Structure 1
Amino acid sequence: MRTFLTIAALPFAFAAQASEDIPDKYPASLLYDKPVEVIPGVFSAIGATAPPTYENSGHNNNLSFIITGDGVVVVNGGAAYLLAKALHDEIRALTDQPVKLVFNENGQGHAVLGNNYWTELGIPVVAHQDAADEVEERGASLLDSMKRYNRDKADSTKVQGPTETFEDEYIVDMGDFHIEARHLGPAHSPGDIVVWLPEQGLVISGDMAFHERMLPIFEDTYTADWLETWDTEFEALNATYVIPGHGHPTNMAQVRRYTKDYLEYLRGKIGELIEEGGGLAEAYYVDQSPYAHLDTFEELATKNAGRVFEQMEFE
């Protein structure tokens, strides 16, 4: 049976349902949760809003797919071979249409380590060139890290980069859908893309946008650039529906509140500290209490503050 969310209910359908304390919501599958139909033809298996663990099989991001009428387009290869297979099993239960294309939203492990499942079936995998470079450079360490938590669930997983790359956009017309994979600019991690469905007003945003878990700021996450990309490119989409990289489908107001507004808030706090002559040690303790309810706050808040300080003291 297809689980379907009415379009009118979508912005509110998942309120207060995310919790990093739930280890697995779909014990019959390696997927953390069963895919839901967000709008007609567009599905997402919503991952845990927690770090990757054996219990959630590394499914802590969203694995989405579009049943176009002339084939299926998958967004994210998954964190492991067997997790990708579990997603494919769910797709096959919904449609006889073959998977024809897979996108990687970036070069992180949970987006790319399932790629070899799809390529063994002869399915092309597409990503931004920067994401491909990440897999080339860091693929072995990503695989080793996944094996440590996933143990036997890592079986058959091999490092496999995308088979096709692009720089600015990759356009697909398939069945009833016009699909635009776009690199909007620097954001959360190298090679971040969004998958935009202009006729439906829906964006699969990847890690451009967060709302139920705290966003992580990496060493190569330049928050000023992320904000510029948000303001000049992401907002311009004027999306009605957002499937974020992590957490339940929502709307622009929610992801704006917990991505753009959070980045501006944290940069503001760090800017005040720098003006007062404070240093890195004090930066870790700037007040982030308005965001303390977000999942992964305990793991990420102090790290985020330190990395923003290190960036801003040289801006």
Structure 2
Amino acid sequence: MIRFALAAVVFASATHANENIPDQYPGSLLYSAPVEFIPGVFSAIGATAPPTYENAGHNNNLSFIMTDEGVVVINGGGSYGLAAALHEEIKARTDAPVVLVVNENGQGHAMLGNSYWITQGVPILAHVDAAAEFEDRGFQILESAERVSRDRHEGTVLQGPTETFEDEYILELGDFRIEVRYLGPSHSAGDVVVWLPNQNLVIAGDMAFHERMLPIFEDTYTLDWLETWDTEFEALNATYVIPGHGHPTNMDQVRRYTKGYLEYLRAQVGAHLDAGGGLSDAYYVDQSPYAHLDTFEELATKNAGRVFEQMEFE
């Protein structure tokens, strides 16, 4: 328990992620080297920035759970090369094979690296909605990633999950009970969390943000996300949280910057609607309390516009 507490302190007080740092691990395609957060649970923290050539598209967290009976990887990675680089890091730490890859959703940085894992004979798991999303949009996702990463995207082809589930998928390896759960609608189609009840840790994926501003997509329904948060995510009562982006942290931090931000933005847009405001001005509602977050400049106005379009008809 002492090591757990120390890890939580180290990560919670870590220097804030900086989207202007192009690469923290020049010897690898990975943006940063994997770090052991609690015993057996590692994460290679991606850039809190949009994908670039310099960060090789590693702008999300690539985590793995290491046991004597096998390794479970969370997120296929954004390319064949990123997945291969992560595997090299795993093999440097254990002789145990990778027995499962979990795609946290249907986005490129979760699934494009599946093209490597399939060559290793590793089964790949995703929620049915994430699989459908990737099947529908995969070619567009691949083209966009290739434009950014160019030669660093070599070898990447479309490969969806080999297995899907609807509510939960559970396996036990060593001291770990690993519960892959779909909690309900949140950030994007088929977002899942990986809950480790014995360690009281959740690998939250894009359910939770804290160092970079969360993006609201056209099909992100903020009211549903808040309901899932209140009824399901909070019920986990996790001590440790590895979010989809940014350093491992705790529930207070992700609650402040995910639930808190969604509630704040909805309140600002709601007041704008009550005053008779239109879409053109809604983009510029006050979001200054969150201006310090990475990707604020890229996302704040888009988020406000999409929340306005949702709330206008609620």
Normalising by structure 2, we get a TM-score of: 0.98
| Stretch moving more, 216-225 or 10-19 | 10-19
* 4+ aligned runs moved over 6 Å, structure 1: none
Residue of structure 2 in register with 1:12 after alignment: 9
In structure 1, the partner of 2:101 is: 102
Find the aligned partners of 2:123 and 2:6 in 1 and give their Cα distance.
35
* Contact 1:80 1:110 (C-alpha < 8 Å) held by counterparts: yes
Cα distance between partner residues in 2 of 1:310 and 1:167: 29
Q: Distance in 2 between matches of 1:41 and 1:314?
A: 47
Taking the TM superposition and a 5 Å limit, the aligned residue runs for 1:133-282 are 133-282=132-281
The whole-number CA distance in structure 2 between the counterparts of 1:213 and 1:6 is 27
Match of 1:294 in 2: 293
Output the amino acid matched with 2:96: Q
How large is the Cα RMSD of the aligned pairs?
Answer: 0.9
AA matched with 2:313: F
The answer to whether the 8 A contact 2:8-2:37 is kept is: no
Deviations 1:66-85 (A, max 9, x none): 00220000000000001000
Residue identity opposite 2:289 in structure 1: P
Once the 2 structures are TM-superposed, how far is the Cα of residue 175 of structure 1 from its aligned partner? 2.0
Q: Which amino acid aligns with 1:135?
A: F
Q: Partner amino acid for 2:239?
A: T
Contact 1:69-1:176 at 8 Å conserved across structures: no
**Partner of 1:116: helix, strand, or coil?**
helix
CA distance in 2, matches of 1:10, 1:313: 44
Instruction: Tell me the residue number matched to 1:58.
Output: 57
CA distance in 2, matches of 1:245, 1:9: 22
Conserved? CA contact 2:186–2:228, under 8 Å: yes
Q: Deviations over 1:133-191 (max 9, x none)?
A: 01110111110000001000111100000000000000011122100000000000000
1:306 alignment counterpart: 305
The separation in 2 between residues aligned to 1:281 and 1:11, in whole angstroms, is 43
Measure how far apart 1:7 and its partner are: 1.8
Matched-pair contact (CA < 8 Å) for 2:272–2:282: yes
Cα distance in structure 2, aligned partners of 1:19 and 1:109: 22
Q: Give yes or no for contact 1:188–1:226 (8 Å, CA) kept in 2.
A: yes
Map of 1:92 onto structure 2: 91
Report deviation, 1:253.
Answer: 0.1
Instruction: Count residues in correspondence.
Output: 311
Letter in 1 for 2:34: P
| C-alpha distance in 1 between matches for 2:115 and 2:162 | 10
Tell me what 1:44 maps to.
43
Counterpart CA distance in 2 for 1:141 and 1:164 is 22
Contact 2:16–2:211 (CA under 8 A) maintained in structure 1: no
Deviation of the 1:116 alpha carbon: 1.3
Letter in 2 for 1:82: G
Look up the match of 2:82: 83
1:10 touches 1:249 (CA, 8 Å); kept in 2? no
Partner of 1:23: 22
Worse overlay, 302-311 or 170-179: 170-179
Amino acid in structure 1 at the alignment position of 2:54: E
Deviations 1:227-275 (A, max 9, x none): 0000000000000000000000000000000000000000000000111
Deviation of residue 17 (structure 1)? 3.0
Amino acid at match of 1:243: I
Q: What 5-or-longer segments of structure 1 have no aligned partner?
A: none
Which digits, 9 at most, give the CA deviation of each residue in 1:187-216, with x for residues without a partner? 000000000000100000000000000000
Cα separation, 2, equivalents of 1:67 and 1:10: 17
CA distance in 1, matches of 2:220, 2:24: 31
